[in-house]
Amino acid sequence: MFAFLRLAARRLVVLPLMLLGITLLVFVVLQFSPNDPAYNALGESASPEARAAYAAAHGLDDPLPVRYVRFLGRLAQGDLGQTAPPAAPVIDRIVTAFPLTMQLTLLALVLAVVLALALGVVGALYRDRWPDQLGRLLSIAGVAIPSFWLGILLIQEFALGLDLFPTGGYVNPADSPGEWLRSLALPAIATAVPVAASLSRLVRTSMVEELDRDYVRTATGNGLPRAVVIRGVLRNALITPLTVLGLRVGYLLSGAVVVETIFDLPGMGKLILEGVTNGDVALVQGAVLTIALAFLVVNLVVDLLYLVVNPRIRAV
C-alpha cells in the first residue's frame, strides 16, 4: 500500500506541471490562428473602429504573456471563455459533448484489450501454428486499416447492407441501454481495431518471452496446472503491453474524435470540427485542453495499474 501511495504521489506532483505545459502550448499555437475574434463576434458589417474597440475591451491587444496569465486565471475558475455568436459558455458545450466521447473511448478500450489478449495469448500458446499465423495476419490487417476507413466499411456492410446497426446518431443510455449500445457498437469497433491489432503483437511477443523462461519449466515440472502457469505468465507478460496501452489511449481519444464525425455523434469530435469551421478559437482551445487532461488522467491510472499487474515494481 505504501508503494502504491508513493507512486501515486509522484505522478500527482508531475500532473499539474504537465498540464501547465499543455496549456502554454495550446494557447500559444492558437494565437497564430488567422481568425479574428472581433470579426467572429461582430460580423462582416462591423467597422474597423468597432473591431479595434472590441479588441481593446477584451484585452486582445495586450502582450502574449499578459493574455496567457489572464487565461490561466480564468481557467483556474473553470472559465474556458465564450463561443462565437450565438455566445454560450464553452464549458457548457464541453460538459454536454465530453461524456459521449468518453463512453466511446471506454467501449473501444475494453474491446481493444479483449481482442488483443485473445489474439496475443492464443498466438503465443500455438506458436508458429495456424492460429498464430491467422492472428498475425489479422493484426497486420488491423494496423494497416485507418479507423475512419474501417468506419465507412462498417456502415456500408452492417448498417446499409444488413441493417443491423444505425448509420449514425446517438441514443442516451438512460432512454434505452440496448439502443445506446447499438449506436456506439460500430464506432467502437472502428476505433478499437487498430489499437487491438498493435497490442496483440506486443502481447504475443511478451507471452512468448515469458513462456521460454526457466520458472515456467520449473512450475510445469512440479506439476502445477497449466491454467495456473499461464495465468502467472500472462500477469508478468502484461507489463510492456500496459505501458503501450497508456500511450494508445491518446490514439483512442483522437480516433474517437475522427470516428464521431463519420457516425454523426455529438461528441468532442463534432465540437472541434464546429470550432475549426467557425473559427472559434475558444471552443477549439477548450476542447483540446479537455482531451489532453483526460489523456493525462488515464495515463496516471495506467501507471498505477503496474503495481497491480506485477508486484516486482513495488520495490522500485
* The pLDDT of residue 111: 92
- Out of 20, 49, 76, a domain closes at 76
* The pLDDT of residue 252: 78
Residues 272 and 311 in one domain: yes
Residues 53 and 141 in one domain: no
Is residue 267 a contact partner of residue 257, using CB atoms and an 8 Å limit?
yes
Distance CA 283, CA 293 (A): 16
**Polymer length in residues for the chain:** 316
* Local structure of residue 82 (DSSP, 8 states): B
Q: Is residue 82 part of a domain?
A: no
Residues 251 and 145 in one domain: yes
Instruction: Please give the chain's pLDDT, 316 residues, in tens.
Output: 566 677 667 777 777 888 888 888 888 887 777 766 666 666 666 677 777 777 776 667 777 788 888 888 888 888 887 777 777 888 888 888 888 888 888 899 899 989 999 998 888 888 888 888 888 898 888 888 888 888 899 999 898 888 888 888 888 888 888 888 988 999 999 988 988 888 888 888 888 888 888 888 888 888 788 888 888 888 778 777 877 777 777 777 777 778 888 888 888 888 888 888 777 788 888 888 888 888 888 777 777 776 666 555 555 5
Residues 101 and 72 in one domain: no
- Out of 20, 46, 76, a domain closes at 76
How many domains are there within the chain?
Answer: 2
Q: Is residue 81 part of a domain?
A: no
C-alpha cell at 302: 495506467
Q: Is residue 84 part of a domain?
A: no
Q: Residue 89: beta bridge partners?
A: 82
* The pLDDT of residue 244: 77
Distance CA 131, CA 81 (A): 54
Residues 137 and 280 in one domain: yes
Residues 35 and 148 in one domain: no
* The pLDDT of residue 46: 66
Cα 44 to its chain centre, rounded Å, is 38
Amino acid of residue 193: V
> Which alpha helices (DSSP H) does the chain contain, by range?
2-31, 37-42, 48-57, 64-76, 90-125, 130-144, 147-154, 177-211, 214-221, 226-237, 239-262, 268-278, 281-309
Q: Is residue 235 part of a domain?
A: yes
Residues 106 and 40 in one domain: no
Residues 120 and 223 in one domain: yes
Residue-number span of the structural domain to which 144 is assigned:
94-315
Count Cβ atoms within 10 A of the Cβ of residue 266 and give its class: 0-12 exposed, 13-18 middle, 19 or more buried.
middle
pTM score of the predicted model:
0.81
Residues 67 and 147 in one domain: no
SS3 assignment, position 289: helix
Residues 125 and 151 in one domain: yes
Residues 58 and 116 in one domain: no
Q: Is residue 83 part of a domain?
A: no
- Out of 49, 76, 103, a domain closes at 76
* The pLDDT of residue 189: 92
Distance CA 95, CA 205 (A): 41
C-alpha cell at 248: 494508445
Consecutive H or E run containing 163: none
